[in-house]
C-alpha cells in the first residue's frame, strides 16, 4: 500500500516505535468511529465503551506486528469487530454455564414432572438472586468452578485455601441455592392459590 494513502501512516510509524503520544493521537482521531461501530455491534453504550477500550489496548499491543497492508482505520475496525464478537461469544458461553449451575442446583428438585416444569420457569433474574444470596466465598467458588469450568484444585489455588474448603463452600452454596429456590417456589405457589 502506498504510504501516502493512509493519513495515519506517520503516527502509526511513531507509535510502532513506542511513541505513546502518537498512539494517543491515533486514539483521539478514531475513538468516535470505533465507539459507534462497537455500539452498533453491542447495542449498549456501556458495552460499546468497554469494547472500544479493549480494541485500542489490543491495537497498542499488536502494533509492532502491523505491516500497513491496510489503512490503520481499517485495521482498527477489524480489531473492534473481533473484540465485539469475542465478547458476545463469551457472554453466550457464560449464560450456558449459568444454565448448567441451575441444572445442578435443581437436579434434586425434579422428582416429578410438575416440579421439573416449575424449575424450567426460573427466570434469569431469579438465577441472579440465587447467586446473590450466597456468601462472597460461596459466590467465588461457584463462579470459578461452575461458570469458569475450573477444577476444584485450581479454585483452591486461586483462593489460597485447601481443596476441602472449596468442596465445603460448593456444597453449602448448592444447599443455600436449593433452599432459596424452594422458598421462592413455595411463595410463588402460595401467591397463585
Dihedral over Cα of 94, 95, 100, 104: its sign? positive
Share of the chain above pLDDT 70, in %: 79
**Residue 146 in this model has a pLDDT that exceeds 70:** yes
**Residue 104 in this model has a pLDDT that exceeds 60:** no
**Residue 78 in this model has a pLDDT that exceeds 50:** yes
Counting beta carbons within 10 angstroms of the beta carbon of residue 66, is it exposed (0 to 12), middle (13 to 18) or buried (19 or more)?
A: middle
Task: Categorize the per-residue pLDDT at 105 as very low, low, confident or very high, splitting at 50, 70 and 90.
Answer: low
Cell of 2: 502506498
pLDDT tens profile 124-135: 556 667 777 888
Q: What is the predicted pLDDT for the residue at 137?
A: 83
pLDDT tens profile 149-181: 788 988 888 888 899 999 999 999 888 888 887
C-alpha 150 chain-centroid distance: 16
Domains with residue ranges and CATH for the chain: 3-91 (1.10.1740.10), 110-192 (1.10.10.10)
36 vs 48: CA distance, rounded Å: 8
70 vs 15: CA distance, rounded Å: 16
DSSP string, 98-110: HHHHHHHHHGGG-
**Residue 67 in this model has a pLDDT that exceeds 60:** yes
pTM of the model: 0.50
Across the range 11-32, mean pLDDT stands at 94
**Residue 117 in this model has a pLDDT that exceeds 50:** no
- Give, for 169, the enclosing helix (H) or strand (E): helix 163-192
Q: What are all long-range contacts of 104-108, with beta carbons under 8 Å and residues at least 24 apart?
A: 104/146, 104/174, 105/130, 105/174, 105/177, 105/178, 105/181, 106/178, 106/181, 108/178
How many other CB atoms sit within 10 Å of the CB of residue 72?
21
**Residue 63 in this model has a pLDDT that exceeds 90:** yes
Amino acid at each position: 500500500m502506498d504510504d501516502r494513502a493512509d493519513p495515519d501512516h506517520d503516527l502509526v510509524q511513531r507509535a510502532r516505535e513506542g511513541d505513546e503520544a502518537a498512539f494517543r493521537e491515533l486514539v483521539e482521531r478514531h475513538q468516535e468511529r470505533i465507539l459507534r461501530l462497537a455500539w452498533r455491534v453491542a447495542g449498549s453504550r456501556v458495552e460499546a465503551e468497554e469494547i472500544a477500550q479493549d480494541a485500542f489496548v489490543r491495537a497498542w499491543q499488536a502494533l509492532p506486528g502491523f505491516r500497513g497492508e491496510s489503512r490503520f482505520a481499517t485495521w482498527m475496525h477489524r480489531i473492534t469487530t473481533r473484540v465485539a464478537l469475542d465478547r458476545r461469544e463469551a457472554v453466550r458461553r457464560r449464560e450456558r454455564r449459568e444454565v448448567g449451575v441451575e441444572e445442578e442446583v435443581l437436579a434434586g428438585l425434579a422428582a416429578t414432572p410438575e416440579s421439573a416444569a416449575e424449575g424450567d420457569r426460573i427466570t434469569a433474574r431469579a438465577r441472579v438472586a440465587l447467586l446473590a444470596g450466597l456468601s462472597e466465598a460461596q459466590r467465588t467458588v461457584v463462579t470459578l468452578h461452575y461458570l469458569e469450568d475450573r477444577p476444584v484444585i485450581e479454585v483452591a489455588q486461586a483462593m489460597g485455601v485447601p481443596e476441602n474448603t472449596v468442596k465445603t463452600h460448593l456444597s453449602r452454596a448448592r444447599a443455600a441455592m436449593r433452599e432459596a429456590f424452594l422458598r421462592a417456589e413455595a411463595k410463588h405457589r402460595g401467591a397463585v392459590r
